[in-house]
Structure 1
């Protein structure tokens, strides 16, 4: 299989998340039809992977397996995007429900490498849970994206790989989630420190800046050869006082930054090569 071009850029879109309510942000895609429409627009704008949180009929976060499966199926039928399900769900979801996310058979899943303070809440990811979820991803042939909220998570990733070996597909892709209150700051020095500490087995990395750190993190990642995750899960304004109207706007902005950095958004097929799918 040919290698992915060196100047290509993986743009992942995270369109919904679990924190923002539909009432507070009516343009947030929360139904399956809205997610499919968003996915199509974002694929056309340059996204190659979609990071999915699912909502129920009342627009509340849910990990109901039937809803997850229906969403995965709809996205696969309508787009070529790599479909990644969040195993984080909401910070209030029990660990047992989060393990069952893989029953929906996504292409990829998020796998957060440690517990972190998350605003006023705690995002719980104890070591035994991380190990169980990782082994389950290997058994189910689902490619994990290791989410790193702090430098301790980078160290934990090395420990996990040393203990259980490489993921399904043999590639190791990570995403730095930066700027969460309680996690690492969304700054270039923090990203430099995180990348410098990555285990040698890591084959690709991306970065996500939350809120006002979106652009600083994106620019730092591009300057270091990393990839990008953008979307309304992570930021709801284009600039102070200017709301985001659609996820495609954020993907288009990322593609524009990529062009300025002489990077080309990769296709979903190239993303599959990059991730070992």
Structure 2
């Protein structure tokens, strides 16, 4: 298999803290430095959240602006992907950074259970976020926590609601949502091939499922996500020393399956993004 594999690094998220792993980057400066190291290890996409000074989740557009600017300066060509997830804001605040025109932004097209709460994505909010992404020419990365999210994304893209090329990420292993189940994963892949053959897809595993799902995705010809947002450990006994270490581990799997790690330029071409960012 010679198709390049896009490696996405989810650098921070909204949940992990330095108490979980001192390597979790919290400040914008820390995030830029961590992203640069992950970029040099092979990551072509930076999936970005921002935090307040006390480490709590934020959706502050100014923080997103400084983070995006720093990544573009230090990681030439890297795809900047901002999160519109619900842990860092509510309602329109979740899309307040979209006028900054990142290359991509995450978009959830349905609701589901999370470990301690319901992750609410009502239809009117989905429609508004999708409209803002279209207005500012931001390609969505669909975060699918359930089969219905995949089918809904395919439907919305076919109806012209979603901007750009369809890109769906399977998120597996969140407690109370879809587990990391190989039969389910294989079914997801088949659905994508049969119903969205021109789309690209990615997969992410949470916690110890990270390396497992990385390998499934790489072996099946998809793309994959890693990083400290999803998993703070290399194994039960060892914390991950950095985002770069998790990216390097995924890159080793690409070598195992004889797939080249996608350069930023190759990733942009595969995802239909502007070649110059």
| Structure-2 change in CA distance of 1:202 and 1:117 (3 Å) | farther
SS at match of 2:140: strand
Equivalent residues in 2 for 1:1-277, closer than 5 Å? 6-80=2-76, 81-90=78-87, 93-165=89-161, 167-168=163-164, 171-198=165-192, 199-200=195-196, 202-277=198-273
TM-score (norm 1): 0.93
State the 1:22 CA deviation. Answer: 2.7
Give the count of matched residue pairs.
270
SS at match of 1:8: coil
TM-score (norm 2): 0.93
State the 1:240 CA deviation. Answer: 1.2
Contact 1:63–1:89, Cα closer than 8 Å, also in 2: no
SS at match of 2:212: helix
CA distance in 2, matches of 1:36, 1:114: 31
CA distance in 2, matches of 1:138, 1:113: 15
Alpha-carbon RMSD across the aligned residues, in angstroms, is: 1.6
CA distance in 2, matches of 1:35, 1:266: 22
Contact 1:62–1:89, Cα closer than 8 Å, also in 2: no
Gaps of 5+ in 2: none
